[in-house]
């Protein structure tokens, strides 16, 4: 009478499936790393269309190429004084939107600083664009 087990339990580990998983992960990381790239092209912002949105009583902020700021009747406003002068103009015109008129040679970051100042004041912001000419 034989009481031995007919099958032996193997203590070996098969690495073939592990290498398949490693190669799949390697391919995944290679593909995803090539998809995420830094932008290499300069983006030209589009011109405005002829169907412009009409804004009632806008408060106009101007920024010229020399970096000088103006708000409606206030000329040569310092950048540090912009929030207080803008708040003063918005208190005179309730429900007014802020229209930002910046020279096209101005750095985009400076325009976005004006947008953030107007947002902190609680106003709706509209960027003034040059109308596209119909050919």
Give per-residue pLDDT as tens, 55-92.
567 888 888 888 888 888 777 888 899 899 988 888 88
5-14, 25-34, 104-113, 114-123: least confident range: 5-14
Query: In the prediction, which pLDDT does 46 show?
Result: 45
Give the 3-state secondary structure of residue 94. coil
Structure pTM? 0.57
- Going by C-alpha positions, the residue among 121, 69, 75, 128 that lies closest to residue 94 is 121
- Asked if the model's pLDDT at residue 133 lies above 80, the reply is no
Element (H, E) at 46: none
Q: Judge contact between 99 and 57, C-beta under 8 A.
A: no
| Domains of the chain with CATH codes | 59-127 (3.30.420.270)
Give per-residue pLDDT as tens, 9-27.
777 777 778 888 999 999 9
């Amino acid at each position: 009478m034989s009481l031995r087990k007919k099958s032996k339990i193997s203590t070996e580990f098969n690495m073939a499936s592990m290498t398949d998983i490693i190669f799949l992960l390697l391919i995944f990381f290679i593909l995803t790393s090539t998809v995420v790239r830094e932008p290499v092209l300069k983006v030209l912002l589009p011109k405005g269309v002829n169907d412009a949105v009409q804004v009632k009583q806008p408060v106009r902020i101007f920024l010229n190429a020399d970096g000088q700021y103006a708000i409606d009747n206030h000329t040569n406003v310092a950048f540090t004084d912009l929030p207080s002068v803008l708040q003063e103009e918005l208190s005179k015109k309730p429900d007014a939107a802020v229209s930002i008129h910046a020279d096209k040679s101005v750095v985009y970051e400076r325009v976005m600083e004006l947008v953030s100042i107007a947002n902190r004041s609680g106003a709706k912001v509209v960027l003034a664009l040059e109308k596209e000419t119909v050919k």
